[in-house]
Structure 1
């Protein structure tokens, strides 16, 4: 009997390499599972106390057996902790899903909404053309879609909760000398609400809030006790009397031409002493964390935009007649503030 030939090394799967690839599949599944738990209110209830699975299912209107499976998937990833049996709590990682400053729950929810998932299914369109897959699938840009889609607009607003800009801006810029702060292209009210609450002398204006999100934004301002100090005008006309103008995670949503166009529209209102703060990730050309390239691909597929280095931002600003005056924050894996003035 002739023995079967042994496969050459190239034919033998590398189990460690296969496991690394399998983790990408698992991460996608887990992301959707966690987003479902956020939307169903499960994470909110877990942040309050540590109920049993049955009690948690009763509170949230979910199926107990399936809820247990979802929670165990999260436990395997270190998001939840089971203690005692059949009682799950948020781990240190899981606490980042709960509502509040720095929450990543809204970002995870946004990434797993139906319109975004449909766009991701057409990512090959972006790969081949360099154009937005979202626009190809839905027939309109993300921004036009937001104006008529309250669910997606709300998810965008909640996703902004992941930003630490509310802590970063006061630590970087002398706000006591300012009076009027204008948030341009605001996806929500969280940043300006936090600034107004912490700085009682400030008044604010939110420009560019999607129509579908206006009532939700106004209610957030009321709950925070700052509605009387914040204007919420129709349209996108920029106030002329701002001391500080904010662009928080806006420019990465735009291609270079649209980004320059937006920046040029700000030049006339940046009178002497006024400043523009561009807030977002600004990776170095060489030292990019794994998150930044993933966000770069996300921006390409969703908006046709991109993440940019400091050099690339400087080039955009120069084309618009602006000057990068200072950079606050130096770590590539966290947000930073680019302080911009007229040239």
Structure 2
């Protein structure tokens, strides 16, 4: 077990390392270095940076193994740094940029104030997240890219480890740009889909589904899940939705789904399920972001999901591990 001092000072150092990583992502350093080494002055010119400042960041990035020294004042991209490129599969560049975006960075830095006062400092300054995104298209696009990148490994686990009913209609509630729905439909050619989300989101979803050749099998419906969801579905998917809301709001959403679903329908909740132990866990890290950004947003344990489902007239029937720290919770009418 690491010494407590190592743990504490390691966390302090992580702030500096993340700042360097964010600089690498923001300036697109991995893209510029993809074709071979550059000296710091040339790299600064290409990415519009101050060369002496960039040189100091490159020194930190080299210590992290993301770049390497390739000659006097020259640097090259390493294999470890390749996922920071924009043009590679499973790129993490958009995710890093989103987590370091000004409002998100503010939210995490103000976590002590949020805990002290019992309300999100982010919401006091920026308002509800989705209103903030709707009012700031550049941030919204970055957020969509982050959610898409985050969903890729989860979606792969979903289609590999869960048997969808044949010829079913799946309603993807708050389905974003539609990448999860597209993956499920490609893997299940007899299924049809409905993507349901806010009006400003559905414009991007239509583009995604058309580009995937699924416009004939997938309908896009704008609306507010607190007012109701499209009726008649066999499967209702809520992927990274319920953790944004407190128990009362989560129950409201689930009750709307229960009222809309077919008699033999099922609800699929794609979330991180917290362990009962005190071990480190991805869900505990994400829960700090939920605490910082939302009033009431929270990660939950299996028992907590079962309780929320029960209040909505649903019963938890299965929990499937999808990998990458995520789970699929299946529920049906009680």
Q: For 1:286, what is the secondary structure of its paired residue?
A: coil
CA–CA distance in 2 between the matches of 1:249 and 1:114? 22
- 1:38-53 aligned at under 5 Å gives the runs 38-46=25-33, 48-53=34-39
How many residues get paired? 323
**Which shifted more, 262-271 or 122-131?**
122-131
CA–CA distance in 1 between the matches of 2:23 and 2:218? 33
Which of 91, 98, 113 is the equivalent residue of 1:110? Answer: 98
Which of 218, 235, 245 is the equivalent residue of 2:236? Answer: 245
Which of 285, 288, 301 is the equivalent residue of 1:294? Answer: 285
Flag the structure with larger Rg. Answer: 1
Instruction: Tell me: CA distance 1:273–1:64, structure 2 relative to 1, closer, same or farther (3 Å).
Output: farther
Which of 102, 111, 129 is the equivalent residue of 1:142? Answer: 129
In the other structure, the counterpart of 1:8 is none
In the other structure, the counterpart of 1:34 is 21
Q: For 2:222, what is the secondary structure of its paired residue?
A: coil
Normalising by structure 2, we get a TM-score of 0.84
- 1:62-211 aligned at under 5 Å gives the runs 62-82=49-69, 86-92=74-80, 94-99=81-86, 102-138=90-126, 140-160=127-147, 161-163=149-151, 164-175=153-164, 177-209=166-198, 211=200
Instruction: Tell me: CA distance 1:336–1:34, structure 2 relative to 1, closer, same or farther (3 Å).
Output: same
In the other structure, the counterpart of 1:265 is 256
Deviations 1:179-219 (A, max 9, x none): 422221234333223333444444332222462x4444444
Deviations 1:1-57 (A, max 9, x none): xxxxxxxxxxxxxxx7555433323322322332333233333455x5434246654
**Contact map agreement 1:71 1:88 (CA 8 A) in 2:** no
Instruction: Tell me: CA distance 1:172–1:275, structure 2 relative to 1, closer, same or farther (3 Å).
Output: farther
**Contact map agreement 2:175 2:239 (CA 8 A) in 1:** yes
**Contact map agreement 1:146 1:210 (CA 8 A) in 2:** no
Instruction: Tell me: CA distance 1:33–1:276, structure 2 relative to 1, closer, same or farther (3 Å).
Output: same
Instruction: Tell me: CA distance 1:167–1:75, structure 2 relative to 1, closer, same or farther (3 Å).
Output: same
**Contact map agreement 1:111 1:117 (CA 8 A) in 2:** yes
**Contact map agreement 1:270 1:341 (CA 8 A) in 2:** no
- 1:312-331 aligned at under 5 Å gives the runs 312-329=304-321
Residue 320 of structure 1, CA deviation: 0.7
Residue 287 of structure 1, CA deviation: 4.9
In the other structure, the counterpart of 1:7 is none
Deviations 1:111-167 (A, max 9, x none): 2111112223332332123322221222x2112222222122222212221232211
Higher strand share: 2
Deviations 1:267-325 (A, max 9, x none): 01221332211112112211542433222121111113111110111011001111111
Gaps spanning 5+ residues in structure 2: where? none
**Contact map agreement 2:239 2:269 (CA 8 A) in 1:** yes
Residue 235 of structure 1, CA deviation: 1.9
In the other structure, the counterpart of 1:25 is 12
4+ residue segments displaced more than 6 Å = none
CA–CA distance in 1 between the matches of 2:325 and 2:90? 12
**Which shifted more, 183-192 or 194-203?**
194-203
Residue 68 of structure 1, CA deviation: 4.0
In the other structure, the counterpart of 1:5 is none
**Which shifted more, 111-120 or 305-314?**
111-120
CA–CA distance in 1 between the matches of 2:60 and 2:100? 17
Q: For 2:221, what is the secondary structure of its paired residue?
A: coil
